[in-house]
Structure 1
Amino acid sequence: MRLKGDVLKQIRRKRGLSQTALSEGICTQATISLMEKQNRIPKMNILTAICARLDIPVDKIIENDDVSMTSQFDEISLLIVQEDYEEAEARLKKIKVKKLQNDFDKQRYYYLLGVLQVATGQVDEAIFNFELILTQFSTMSANIYWALTTVGMAMAYEKRGNEERALKFLQRAVTLIDEKQLTGGKRQWIIIYRNIADLYLKLKQPNDAMAIAGRGIDICREDLTMFLLSDYYQVTAKAAELLEDRATALQNFTIAKSLLLINGEETQAQAVQAEIDGLQ
């Protein structure tokens, strides 16, 4: 990531703020000076607070000049979503964590490692890596990886069989989302809501599962994407089953099946058809 100090300076002046006024209650005046003159990136909580005071999105003054790194993490994330854990692990092993240039990349690395470990049954290792993020990168709580990691902890404890602790972490993640202005891409929001909805379902909280799935469906509609959309309808259908709402379950399973067929995922569509047959 690269800070555009000249742009920050222009916006600050347009707002009629001195460096001291902009920094008040957030950081030191020297921090603002380093940002403007040397393009120095501060801690994420400082950066987001400054942008909030200037009423601008973070990406107004930050550009990602490490496209390849972000691309690698995005590809690994997608492989995990597709349950191609072997390839995801191989890609992750190619990344040398000691050579990562900033804390944000390290945060992403340990998050993906933890999620992969949960998926492959290495629960204790996953909890260790999630705790590493939540302690060492706590000042970066304004980005979505803070909430993603908290959901990861919930997933790990659910896998361990500690449903009470899993539910506490899950509720904490939802609170973070609702109360903090977390920065993150649309795909990350779709993934986190899918994971939360799915976990609520596993923890026998059908109403919460349906509510969160609804948030994910709204994002998919707004972004005109079908990414994980069938998953959301399946979660909604299964939640409706738990609530003994057969009509809603059938409706959502049918939508999910149609989406899977459109995407050419015939095997998954057959599995959903079996769910439909069981309700009819």
Structure 2
Amino acid sequence: MATTIIDFATAVTVLGNNLKARRQALGLTQQALAAGLCAQAMISDIEKGIDLPNASLLTKLCERLRLPHKQMLKENYPIRRLPSFSDKVHRLYDQRRYVDLKTYMERPGRLQVLTTDEDLKAYYYYYGCTVYQVTHDATVALQSIRTALTMMLPQHPQRYRTLEVLLFSTENYMTAATADQPNYDGFERALTIIREQRLIDSSQNICMVFNQYARICLMQGQPQRAIRLLIEGIAWADAHESDYMLADDYALLVQAHAMTQ
């Protein structure tokens, strides 16, 4: 069940519980985790939800707990008609070699052989995200993301694929990142699908939706809303036994806390 906690004290408790669980899963003592970083008492207070690490300490704790930052997709989406092309797209994307990926995807003849909606959705998703990373031009990147969304047939199904939910979120993220007063329709549509458990292929990539939405809320000066979303995202990850995006979510929690002070 989705968590709808709104107070920051509970958010800190959830953070502490997750860090403790991760530490124990790795077989580390509090003393071993703290060594060279902080006092053991600080680790104890963090795990109990009494204290919150600053951004620098949190980053170091996540590194020691092997919780990676700024992760790419946990699970990639295949372009089945072109398996070798698909593999290279995934490899370049995971390596953040966006300029090389943009050049590779723009080689002539690729789109002509992609005949299924699923292949086209995957192609345009990766291409749109890549264009955004290379050019930072949301208007151009959105053309590809919205083209991918036109491949979703019917447009309002009872159940959705994870990639489609990511497309709603990514479209809203690109739009809102450059808007003075953005709406959150795409994010809310994605969250409704998640909360109502209307996913065909539930994937750890869902964690990205909560993180993207929270980032936009912070950009728009809405830290309390961001905290609620991050707690829900962490709860979703816990329920699905995933540590995907947790380090990023925790980092945003620290940022949100600083904005509330």
Q: TM-score, normalised to structure 1's length? A: 0.52
Higher relative contact order (CA 8 A, sep 6+): 2
Q: 1:212/1:69 Cα in 2 relative to 1: closer, same or farther (>3 Å)?
A: farther
User: Which amino acid in 1 is paired with 2:114?
Assistant: L
Secondary structure of the structure 1 residue equivalent to 2:198 = coil
Spell out the pairing of 1:68-217 with structure 2 (5 A cutoff).
Answer: 71-72=87-88, 74-79=90-95, 83-93=96-106, 96-119=110-133, 120-139=135-154, 142-165=160-183, 167-179=184-196, 181-184=198-201, 186-217=203-234
Partner Cα separation in structure 1 for residue 84 and residue 216 of structure 2: 32
Q: 1:225/1:196 Cα in 2 relative to 1: closer, same or farther (>3 Å)?
A: same
User: Which amino acid in 1 is paired with 2:233?
Assistant: G
Number of matched pairs: 177
Structure 2's unaligned 5+ residue stretches are 1-79
Instruction: Give the alignment's Cα RMSD to 1 decimal.
Output: 3.2
Partner Cα separation in structure 1 for residue 129 and residue 119 of structure 2: 15
Partner Cα separation in structure 2 for residue 185 and residue 153 of structure 1: 20
Structure 1's unaligned 5+ residue stretches are 1-63, 245-280
Q: Is the 2:230–2:253 contact (alpha carbons within 8 Å) kept by the matching residues of 1?
A: yes
Pick the structure with more helix per residue. Answer: 1
1:192-223 Cα deviation digits (max 9, x unpaired): 33222222222223233223323433455456
- Deviation of the 1:233 alpha carbon: 0.5
Secondary structure of the structure 2 residue equivalent to 1:193 = helix
- 1:240 is matched with 257
Partner Cα separation in structure 2 for residue 113 and residue 65 of structure 1: 16
1:207-247 Cα deviation digits (max 9, x unpaired): 33223323433455456654432211111111122222xxx
Q: 1:67/1:209 Cα in 2 relative to 1: closer, same or farther (>3 Å)?
A: farther
Partner Cα separation in structure 1 for residue 194 and residue 214 of structure 2: 14
1:129-163 Cα deviation digits (max 9, x unpaired): 22222334242751122221111221222233243
Q: Is the 1:157–1:163 contact (alpha carbons within 8 Å) kept by the matching residues of 2?
A: no
